[in-house]
A and B are shown apart, each in its own frame.
Chain A
Amino acid sequence: MISRRQILQLACCGGGLAFGPFGRLGFRTFGAMSAFAQTTADYRALVCVFLFGGNDGNNLIVPMDTASYDAYQQIRGSLALASSSLLPVTAKTGGRGFGFHSKLANVQKLFGSGQAAVVANVGTLVKPLTRNEYLGGNTTVPSNLFSHSDQQLQWQASISAQNGTGWGGRVADKVAWMNAPATFPTFLSVAGNAMLGQGGDTQPATVSPGQPLNLTGFHGTPADNARMLALQQLLTLDTGAALVQQASGTMQRGLTDSATLEKALDGAPALATAFPTTSIGAQLQQIAQVIQVRNELGMRRQIFFCSLGGFDTHTAQLNSQDSLFAQLDAAMGAFVSATQELGVEQSVTLFTESDFCRTLQPNTNGGTDHAWGSHHVVVGGAVKGGDVYGTFPQLALGGPDDAGSAGRWIPTTALDQYGATLASWFGVATADLAYVFPNLANFPASNVGFLG
């Protein structure tokens, strides 16, 4: 048997063929052995859990003071969660009482132990915005609000005008030097291509959980080795056709990165932490396994992307969100346990993103429609947890936070501020934040304060 890694080495060293793109393979040799000397304190990871479809944050966390809960219950009607079902917590700052959705028991527990926080009413913005300004129309707002595709991209890019890069990739651009001489990409998605991870220089890696890392059908015979060399050489041919080059580049990165990862994972013990056998469980398990071999990869900074879909609850929201939150909470709970098992709980911060929030007012089908600012969860040992950051919206139709009359919250914390808080903790220098979040200077604070 010969592994693809060995064949790639063959490609680098033998045959007299020109394998330019493989020159950056940089197999971990003696230089990378110093990685083992790195302490856990040198390691930081961000884990984005993207909730596709637009999660209804209004039922993720509910204010429990009498006036707020009454307003919530009155407007939500049949979608109001019973106060007795909510999992109570108290915000450290100000002592306001809130209740988490009943399926978020792990989140409640982590909030209580100071390892989870909520950031209230976060969303896409170009600059701070009031209801009057929005309704007046004579101001700059993100393009195509309430549209899934546009808002998904803006949550990943931080800007309306797409230039093909995401804020996670731009963060990676600025911290990549910390990973040198490791060659594994700073950004890894276990949920397919994600614009979040595309940087100016950064090209994200992907892994398909449950699928083999290496190409099948190569068994180390001379004929197989010649075929592998030919496959690699075909990827380097200049066809002059942009889409062909894109396809070749994609597969080259796949071959290179999975060879690196395969070698790092080789012989790693299985995690003791059991993960749920859901899609999001398998994704977070895969991420934990990669974090486990961070030293073998020589990584000091990593950003991960995973996702859970199905949050577009226009109909029968209560049942759908119950099921989705149960999956999410169980997988997140297992992931936190795994970070503890690996001794990196202080070094790993998980955060949620989603297209948008949903209307506080229900529609005719026991569901809700597309809205704007939402509440998001951050989890990890470095989080200054047990608190609700930002400003919780006033739950009133047509109230000061409503973009219209159905409870679509105009964000009071920009995604840029949320992301910049994560990026600053991760190691992006203050001077580099403008590269990552071009609109950040439009907002009064660049740090929301939920990370130390």
Chain B
Amino acid sequence: MRPIRLTVLTVCALAALRAQNSPTVTPGAAARFLDQAAWGATPADIAHLQQVGFDAWLNEQFAMPPSAIPDVPDPIKSLNSVRQQFFVNAVSGRDQLRQRVAFALGEIWVVSNVKLKSPAIPPYLRLLSDRAFGNYFDLMNAVTLSPAMGHYLDMVNNDKPADGQEANENYARELNQLFTIGTVLLNPDGTVQTDGSGRPVPAYDQSVVQAFARAFTGWTYAPLPGAQPRRHNPPNWDAPMVAVEANHDENAKALLNGQTLPAGQTAEQDLHQALEIVFQHPNVGPFVCQQLIQHLVTSNPSPAYVQRVAAVFANNGSGVRGDLKAVIRAILLDQEARSGDPPAVPAANEGHLREPAFYVPALLRGLGASVAVDNTLPQFIAKQGQTLYAPPSVFSYFSPGYRIADGKLLGPEFQIQSPSVSMLRADMVNALVNGGIKGVTFDQTPFTSLAAMPDSLLDYLSALLFHGQMPDDMRATIKTAMAAAPTGAMKARAAIYLAASSSQYQVER
């Protein structure tokens, strides 16, 4: 039955995948969970998750210390090594869930190397990583005062306006529009509130943006160590911004829903109260939770799913609002996230396209490849529309509201999946199977050793990349191509190329 020349590694891996250590978590269910909560599945992680179960696995991950994020090397001042380290951490770091959540938060709370100098980026990435399991209000405060965001959206040195000027509206607008509330009022389930004519109800108007802009005046970089504080300090990427009261607009500000900051307050009072008003807005839960669900699980969550998670955002069960740990647990353990676990089949509209920064590490983990620091993976995903830490604007690489061609379903990641980019993805897989990616070690022996038994090889690929559910017609098609390949190595490469470049793999369901 089984091929004779199985390597020990392959036997172990297959055995692990077939193990039924837990009565509740099948290998396929474990693999699927790891596609949502980690950068994809590995045989070892599947076995471990089966052993401990979802809940204990989440607790382990919550306790896991963050993977190190390096500074940019002086004097090169290039982000390349930080981008390279992203792949090392994603493929082999143990804090998988923290990395996934921090990356998702970084695509909501966007800063970009397009405008920011490279040394500003690593401290910001650490800020997100450190707070991925914290409270959303703490995250709001930390990001608002971070020098990276301060520079990126111009809150730094945004002084009270002189005659003939206005306060800079950039951070004020995007904090509300992109990071917390959105432009229109939402129901608790994330659907849009409409007026009597069926038109969406705006969440705020231009005057509110201008009032927030004035509330956020009077902040500059922290003084560099040993330097004399000035009204506008030079960039300091390693400490939160500091207030300069003389530069703060002390007039009253009418913010959201008629809530007003009284005249005469300090910069810190205005900032803290303004953020509190935003945080308490009923939009924040559904607005943020829907996006986190889209990043981790599915582009088109049902309103009921959003509402269940948003309720946890509003109250973690102990009366705390904004507890991200509770929110993440609610997202991943929700019945809608889990109902497609094998042996069940995901619903027709379930899942999301893997963005390049998820596609690549998930594929490498699934195939058992390893990544050295000196790798060229950042260039590969840059060609696929995702230059790490350098999205084109604060609107990130893609919009959570992007719809696929049918005009009905959301498919955020498809915004950067143009026809030509889809071919560049396949080209990356071609480079991977032919050893053409510097810094990536991919031992194909386990696959080659199964090449004489196509069904076994396809079982193996199915377990690694398809939650054990590679469709039969797909298997038949790949087998045809394998049959035409003259050597075992070529059969294995053909099978991996076709499986990994397929739409069925690229869309994680």
Residues of A within 8 A of B (CB): 52-53, 75, 77, 143-150, 162-165, 189, 192-193, 198, 203, 205-208, 211-217, 222-223, 225-227, 229-231, 233-235, 237, 239-251, 253-255, 257-258, 309-310, 312, 314-315, 359, 361-365, 367, 369-370, 404, 406
User: A250 to B434, Cβ gap below 8 A?
Assistant: no
Q: Select B473's contact among A213, A237, A315, beta carbons within 8 Å.
A: A237
User: A243 to B393, Cβ gap below 8 A?
Assistant: no
User: A363 to B423, Cβ gap below 8 A?
Assistant: no
Which residues on the B side are within 8 Å of A212 (C-beta)?
427
Q: Given contacts A162-B403, A223-B490, could you give 12 more A-B pairs where the C-beta distance is less than 8 Å? A: A144-B202, A148-B394, A164-B408, A192-B418, A208-B383, A226-B494, A244-B509, A247-B414, A364-B167, A365-B157, A367-B168, A404-B206
User: A143 to B503, Cβ gap below 8 A?
Assistant: no
* Closest CB pairs A-B (n = 10): A164-B407, A254-B419, A226-B484, A217-B430, A247-B503, A230-B481, A206-B418, A314-B170, A251-B422, A248-B503
User: B506 to A247, Cβ gap below 8 A?
Assistant: yes
Known A-B contacts A216-B430, A359-B166, A367-B168; the reply to A243 vs B183 at CB < 8 A is: no
Which residues on the A side are within 8 Å of B509 (C-beta)?
241, 243-244
When C-beta atoms are compared, the residue in chain A nearest to B421 turns out to be A208
Interface residues of B in 380-419 (CB under 8 A from A): 383, 385, 392-395, 399, 401, 403-409, 411, 414-419
Any A CB within 8 A of the CB of B246: no
The residue in B161, B383, B477 that gathers the most chain A C-beta atoms within 10 A of its C-beta is: B477
User: B418 to A250, Cβ gap below 8 A?
Assistant: yes
User: A363 to B161, Cβ gap below 8 A?
Assistant: yes
Any A CB within 8 A of the CB of B114: yes
The residue in B184, B409, B417 that gathers the most chain A C-beta atoms within 10 A of its C-beta is: B417
Interface residues of B in 460-509 (CB under 8 A from A): 471, 473-474, 477-478, 480-481, 483-486, 490, 494, 497-498, 501-504, 506-507, 509
When C-beta atoms are compared, the residue in chain A nearest to B151 turns out to be A315
Which residues on the B side are within 8 Å of A315 (C-beta)?
154, 168, 170
Which residues on the A side are within 8 Å of B165 (C-beta)?
77, 361-364
Known A-B contacts A241-B507, A242-B348, A243-B352; the reply to A53 vs B393 at CB < 8 A is: yes
Which residues on the A side are within 8 Å of B183 (C-beta)?
144, 147, 150
User: B426 to A215, Cβ gap below 8 A?
Assistant: yes
Which residues on the A side are within 8 Å of B43 (C-beta)?
none
Which residues on the B side are within 8 Å of A253 (C-beta)?
419
User: A365 to B166, Cβ gap below 8 A?
Assistant: no
Known A-B contacts A143-B200, A206-B420; the reply to A241 vs B161 at CB < 8 A is: no
Please report the C-alpha to C-alpha distance between residue A80 and residue B30 in the assembled complex, in whole angstroms: 62
User: A234 to B503, Cβ gap below 8 A?
Assistant: yes
A-B contact pairs, 21 of them (CB 8 A): A148-B395, A192-B415, A192-B421, A193-B415, A206-B419, A208-B418, A208-B421, A216-B427, A222-B484, A226-B481, A230-B480, A235-B503, A241-B351, A247-B507, A253-B419, A309-B393, A359-B166, A363-B165, A363-B169, A365-B157, A367-B168
Q: How far is the CB of A98 from chain B (nearest CB, A)?
A: 24
User: B217 to A364, Cβ gap below 8 A?
Assistant: yes
Q: What is the total number of residues of chain B having a CB less than 8 Å from a CB of chain A?
A: 88
Which residues on the B side are within 8 Å of A254 (C-beta)?
418-420, 422-423
User: A229 to B199, Cβ gap below 8 A?
Assistant: no
When C-beta atoms are compared, the residue in chain B nearest to A143 turns out to be B200
User: A231 to B498, Cβ gap below 8 A?
Assistant: yes
Please report the C-alpha to C-alpha distance between residue A371 and residue B424 in the assembled complex, in whole angstroms: 38
User: B393 to A148, Cβ gap below 8 A?
Assistant: yes
Q: Select B504's contact among A213, A239, A367, beta carbons within 8 Å.
A: A239
User: B166 to A241, Cβ gap below 8 A?
Assistant: no
Q: How far is the CB of A292 from chain B (nearest CB, A)?
A: 19
User: A215 to B430, Cβ gap below 8 A?
Assistant: yes
Over the window 172-186 of chain B, the binary record of Cβ atoms lying under 8 Å from chain A Cβ atoms (1 yes, 0 no) is 010001000001100
When C-beta atoms are compared, the residue in chain A nearest to B346 turns out to be A241
User: A189 to B480, Cβ gap below 8 A?
Assistant: no
Q: How far is the CB of A139 from chain B (nearest CB, A)?
A: 12
When C-beta atoms are compared, the residue in chain A nearest to B298 turns out to be A243
Q: How far is the CB of A204 from chain B (nearest CB, A)?
A: 8
When C-beta atoms are compared, the residue in chain B nearest to A249 turns out to be B405
Please report the C-alpha to C-alpha distance between residue A216 and residue B299 in the assembled complex, in whole angstroms: 31
User: A237 to B422, Cβ gap below 8 A?
Assistant: no
Over the window 319-343 of chain B, the binary record of Cβ atoms lying under 8 Å from chain A Cβ atoms (1 yes, 0 no) is 0000000000000000000000000
Which residues on the A side are within 8 Å of B478 (C-beta)?
230, 234
Any A CB within 8 A of the CB of B63: no
Which residues on the A side are within 8 Å of B417 (C-beta)?
193, 247, 250
